[in-house]
Amino acid sequence: MRKVLSLVLLAALTISAALPLGAAGPVPRKAPEFVVQGADGGDKLLTSYRGKTVLLSLMFTTCPHCQNISKLLSKIAPDYAAKGVQVLGATFDANAPRDYKQFNTAFVKGFPCGFSSQKNVLDFLGLKADEPFFVPALVFIDKTGMIRSQYIGDEKFLGNPEVNIRAELDKMLKAAPSK
């Protein structure tokens, strides 16, 4: 009996390890339209980047982890731009429409970053309004507009973000686009 329980537990752990942790919506899934307001002085539509691999970072302007991710993405973005990767940011805390420009000046270089509403972000991530979440959230979208993975604030993926982000981008760039 112990062996059976051990095997069942091992199988459950194996299956859960294969799923992206914290992925609210199922992956892969088609990315719904998403608008980043005020990015580089105007609105940016996610669909305008079709044909590129997109890393969408969803953040709070007041979050130290989000500020650090923005600095890191400012370093990563130019390294991957020539490979067809677009980094895109959206802040979505209550004061983001007011504070995103200051956030950008302090933490964002080399990629468009604006703001959105919490409702739009939670809908995009596939989270319910009453579901807890952490920031930043990173969403990896392939050239065909499919969300391949997403990681939400408290996951192990963000424990070593530079290595993991680069590895995820490299994996996506090597993969043939699926339809």
Output the six-digit token pair for 26.
Answer: 């199922």
Peptide bond before residue 136 is cis, with ω within 30 degrees of 0: yes
Query: CA angle, 160 as apex, 102 and 46 as ends, to 5°?
Result: 50
Domains (range + CATH), the chain: 21-174 (3.40.30.10)
Task: Output the tens digit of pLDDT for each of the chain's 179 residues.
Answer: 444 333 333 333 333 333 333 446 899 999 999 999 999 889 999 999 999 999 999 999 999 999 999 999 999 999 999 999 999 999 999 999 999 999 999 999 999 999 999 999 999 999 999 988 999 999 999 999 999 999 998 889 999 999 999 999 999 999 855 54
The count of other CB atoms within 10 Å of the CB of residue 19 is 10
How far apart CA 147 and CA 77 sit, in angstroms, is: 19
**Rounded Cα distance, 147 and 172, in Å:** 11
What six digits make up the tokens of 123? 């809908």
